[in-house]
Amino acid sequence: MSQTVKQFVTDAYQLISANSPTVPLQGNDMLKGVQFLNELIQSYSGTGLMTTISKEISYQLSIGQSEITFADPDYTPAADVQEGRLANTQNVYLLLENVTYPLIIQNRNTFLSSYKFDPQIGLPRFAIIYNEVDVTRMRIYPGASQAYELRVYGKFELPEYTENDDLSNLPLYYNRYLKFALARDLAMYKGRAEAWTDRLELMYVQAKMDMESVSTTNLVIETENESLLNGAFRVRSGV
């Protein structure tokens, strides 16, 4: 059963409050609770490790198209995919007549520093990610010479919540961790640092480890392979 944001914030305060659960919040407690909840959730989109959950979306790529945008539904101008900003890209591929064409996710700087013909169309081979504040742009290179179904698997930034929203789009197991995380932030920002005990810290760390264990995001840094955009790699290495 999902909670409203108001109920969720109230529960987080109870972790660091000696008051009876029937005592209502005072002053700007609720306002700050919602603010810190949104800040906490948005901070997770930096790496995607604590952003739940990975999902796959489908988009119809048209002939000649070479860029797809990902943003919230209220973003202006309207994004191609309105699932939220793409925070972490894990897999990109094309489908055409039941044939799968995997795309290589390439670093933006590697793409911009390579030799390339622009514009160019053909069978797309690379997906280059441009992260911006409210939108993610995905460059498909080369541009599509025919219509494909584009499949993107990754993590999308969660929307900003208001006091009256509910958390039905979050799995219940995630709520347990998020409640500890919010209470931890509230204790520091609301001048209740002494209320955050060693026992609460231990429970928070355990909940965080549980969340990291179910994340599909891999933060291991891998070296470049030779699947670069062109022969610049071979020229530099003398191959």
First to last CA, the chain: 60
Rounding to the nearest 10 degrees, give the CA dihedral for residues 182, 186, 187, 191. 170
Task: Name the residue among 136, 127, 133, 152 with its Cα closest to residue 66.
Answer: 127
Neighbours of 229 (CB within 10 A): 19
Structure tokens at 147: 């219509």
Kindly give the confidence (pLDDT) of every residue in the chain, 239 residues in length, as a single tens digit, with 9 standing for 90 and above: 678 999 999 999 999 886 656 567 788 889 999 999 999 988 888 777 788 778 899 999 999 899 999 999 888 899 999 998 998 888 999 999 989 999 999 888 888 877 666 667 888 999 999 988 889 999 998 889 999 999 999 989 888 899 999 988 888 888 899 999 999 999 988 888 888 999 999 999 999 998 888 777 665 545 455 445 555 544 444 44
Q: What pTM, to 2 d.p., does this model score?
A: 0.76
Q: Would you report the helix, strand and coil content of the chain in percent, each value rounded to 5?
A: 35, 25, 45
Buried-exposed string 92-122: b where 16+ CB fall within 10 A, e elsewhere: bbbeeeeeeeebeebeeeebeebeeeeeebe
| Alpha-carbon distance values, 1 to 146, 173, 209 (Å) | 45, 11, 24
